[in-house]
Amino acid sequence: MLDLQNKRILVTGGNGFLGKQVVDQLCQFGATIDKISTPRSRELDLCKWENCQQAVKEQDVVVHLAAHVGGIGLNQEKPAELFYDNLMMGTQLIHAAYQEGVEKFVCVGTICAYPKFTPVPFKEDDLWNGYPEETNAPYGIAKKALLVQLEAYRQQYGFNGIYLLPVNLYGPEDNFKPQSSHVIPALIRKVYEAQQRGDEKLPVWGDGSPTREFLYSTDAARGIAIATQKYDESAPVNLGTNQEISIKSLVETICELMEFEGEIIWQTDKPNGQPRRCLDTQRAKEKFGFVAQTEFRQGLKNTIDWYRQNPD
């Protein structure tokens, strides 16, 4: 087990939605806050090689969370940027960390890496059995390439890199911007604004049939911190709840919790995204004892309450 006390830890994306909580959880597991570095992208663009070298200098552990990421809309609008930025950030950071002699590299991947038609629940061994869902394939493949890199660096150099696959995250302080938000914050904002305008109808992309799984951000951060301490193998590991909900049920639940009584209008000319998403979470439980703890309705309520107090 890795003793985090007095380790110098770089957390890329450490000032973001998930990153803040990862920093907090690392501290709860023994890390020292003044030894954790969380450079901002505007100060240190990790798409540039020399910045990756600077970022990893004298670090013992790297937790790579930084990503250029968004929902279906952004994936359709900027697929080239999403591919290039995520590949360059990750692959250069891994190489710089290896050259610097970093003790451990924790890479947080994406559920978008799975094939479009993966048997449900998704098992890590199915990761390579097909092409990802088209709308998010450039992002998913860029992140999946980092798994190959870590496996190769472990094989050739004995470099200790691990790869985690968290399912869709949600929680307070999420990104609620319409052009780049994921489904839960996008829906919460949509319902909130409909209520502010007094709308009686709520248009929602797709037909409501796809299913998704959601992991509360605090749970995800705890899983990442535990893996940083306890997991040292090359095999990728899912982080999730193993609970599936349809988009239709999700929309209805958010409307219920927010007391919106208008009519939901399904925009069936808009894309649904991947048909089903639900993870097999057995490996995380077996390898490092991670089990999600937050009940979904409570997590949604916490997220709704935060947004109502912080509408942007």
Rounded to 5 degrees, φ, ψ at 108 are -100, 110
Q: Tell me whether residue 129 is annotated as binding.
A: no
Helical ranges in the chain per DSSP H: 17-28, 49-56, 72-77, 79-100, 137-157, 183-197, 217-230, 247-257, 282-288, 296-309
Question: Is residue 139 among the annotated active site residues?
Answer: yes
Q: Tell me whether residue 79 is annotated as binding.
A: no
Complete edge-to-edge strand list for the sheet that includes strand 36-37: 36-37, 9-12, 61-64, 104-108, 161-166, 237-239
Q: Tell me whether residue 251 is annotated as binding.
A: no
Q: Angle CA(106)–CA(213)–CA(283) in degrees, nearest 5? A: 45
Give the C-alpha separation, 241 to 224, whole Å.
14
Q: Tell me whether residue 140 is annotated as binding.
A: no
Q: Tell me whether residue 266 is annotated as binding.
A: no
Token readout for 212 is: 């998704």
Token readout for 5 is: 């006390």
Q: Which of 98, 114, 131, 139 is flagged as catalytic? A: 139
Give the C-alpha separation, 56 to 156, whole Å.
21
Q: Tell me whether residue 273 is annotated as binding.
A: no
- Tell me the residue type at 234: S
Q: Tell me whether residue 300 is annotated as binding.
A: no
Rounded to 5 degrees, φ, ψ at 94 are -60, -45
**Sequential DSSP letters for 247-270:** HHHHHHHHHHHTT--SEEEEETTS
Q: Tell me whether residue 15 is annotated as binding.
A: yes
Q: Tell me whether residue 166 is annotated as binding.
A: yes
Q: Tell me whether residue 168 is annotated as binding.
A: yes
How many CB atoms lie under 10 A from the CB of residue 34?
7
Q: Tell me whether residue 48 is annotated as binding.
A: no
Cite the annotated binding site for NADP(+) by residue number.
13-19, 143, 166-169, 182
Active site residues: 139
- Binding-site residues for substrate: 190, 205, 212
Residues marked as binding? 13-19, 143, 166-169, 182, 190, 205, 212
